[in-house]
Every structure is written in structure tokens, then in C-alpha cells.
Amino acid sequence: MKKLYILLTLINFSLSAQIKGIVKDSVSGQPIPYVNIWVENENIGATSEENGTFEIKTSDTSKTLIFSVIGYETKKISASNSDNIVLKPIIYQLEDVVIFKPKNTKEIEIGDSKKRFYLPEPQTIPWIFGRKFTAEDSEIKFIKNIIYYTNSEVEKGIFRVRIYSIGNDGIPNEDILPEEQLVEVKKGKHKTIVDLLKYKIEIPNEGIIVAFESLLIDQNKYIQSGINIKTKKRTEQLNYSPHIMYFYNNTFDSYTFRAGKWMRFTKEYYDKYKQIKVIIPAIDLTLTN
């Protein structure tokens, strides 16, 4: 009986050790789905569901939460005040950015995502994984489409497309896409093409960063089975799909956003930590003139 009491106590604590809330639009008051949320400086995060609700697996209300989704200002707020989050929409003025209209008479594919491989890694916090692109041909520099190579363990996995400008510090700065781009992929390994020509996005001289963003939503959940290396016993754990695939290349830069901050991976970074190859997300671009 005593053991049962202790077990129930631990279960109740586990269930209560969460921060719950809802994310809403500051103008319409409507819930905002698929907002990614990170606990600053911690490997903890979540994604709001279609009804805007979310749960963070931490009971520490002194932590800072970071809320991010395309079309809204990124917001930091104390976990103690996170039961009702209001995000302000961003007003994009595309006419001030887009000067030239694509002719769309020539095109090239860049990225070189060859010899791709899949890592069945735990994707239990939201992450953004991107790579830098530049347009070497001055005449062909409009984005026609993005090509993502993914592996999904669920039948209809969803991820978010992100495109960033590059800041003075060399890391991703502001969203370039003016609206949400959610992509649904089938189960298994696939080449997914996302058409973006209508946005007339021109790659500037300093380049851009194109990224894959995971979403921790019910639709992406699956149970991952494996073998514990130490005990040799079969284990099961909750994971989220889809996953971006990777390839190795020491000449490209890659970037990841986790624990509420960006990290940049270059050949110099890997040399410093005695690693040989730079892991790049398998993302290519088709450019047009």
C-alpha cells in the first residue's frame, strides 16, 4: 500500500509539473495554432495545438518562455504569466521590398544535397534547422521553390517552412516569408517541393537562410522503439515527426535554433571540437530569373 501511495504521488506530481496556457491573436482574439514555444536556455519546448492551447513540461515559473510563429512578433514572457498569451500580428509591406518581377524564363537548382542520410534522433523539443544560400548568378536569384528531403514516421506529418535574412552577426535575423507555409508529407522518405514563386523573393548579396521547423503537435506524434545500448533491452519513447534528412559538406554553413537561441555550425566550429564533418540539412533551392 505504501509503495502504491508513493507511485500515485509521483504520477500526480508529474501531471501537475506543467505550465499550461493558450496563445491568441491580439487583434481578433482568435487562438493561434502551431506556435512554437521554447524555455529560454533549456532543452524544453512545445507547440500550440489547433485551438491555441499548449503545455510545457516544467513547473519552474521563474523561467522565460519564447513564442515564435510566422506573421507575429516573437515574444518573451515569464512562465508565471503564460496562461493567456497575446501575440501581435506583423504588417508586411511587400511593395517596399519587391522591386523586380521574375521573368521565369531560366532556372537552376542549387544546394547539392547528395548522399543523404536519416538520423532517427529524438525530436522532443521544437527545433529549426537551416542552411545558408547565396545566388552566384546575378541574373538568376529569385526563389522558385524549396526542395526538402524528409522522412516521416506518420502518414501526414507537418512541418513549417522558414526563410530568414542574415543579421550583422551572421545568424538568422527576420522572417522573409510574409505568411505561414505549413507542409504536409507522406509517411516514409520523400522529396517535397514547396512552390514560392508568387512571393517574388530575391536572394540578396549576403544570402539567406532557408530552414525546416519541427512542430510538436498531436498529428506528428509516434512511438519510437529502440535498443538501450547499456542494458540491451528494447525501449519505447514518444517522438515527433517528420524529420529533415542530412548530408555532410565542409563548405556550407548550417544553423539550428534550440533552447531559445541560434547556433551557427561552420567548418571552424567542427575543427574546434575535433569533429570532421559539418552536418547540413537536406534542403535545395530552384532559382529563376
Averages of pLDDT over each 10 residues, the chain, 289 residues: 40 58 96 96 93 90 93 93 93 53 86 91 92 90 96 96 94 92 96 95 95 97 83 86 93 87 78 72 96
Which tens digits make up the pLDDT trace of 28-66?
Answer: 999 999 999 999 989 899 999 999 999 998 878 889 999
CA 191 to chain centre: 18
Indicate the pTM of the whole model: 0.86
State the cell numbers at 109.
537548382
d(CA 113, CA 224): 26
Residue 271: predicted pLDDT: 67
Q: 188: closest CA among 256, 253, 245?
A: 245
**φ/ψ (deg, to 5) at 198:** -65, -20
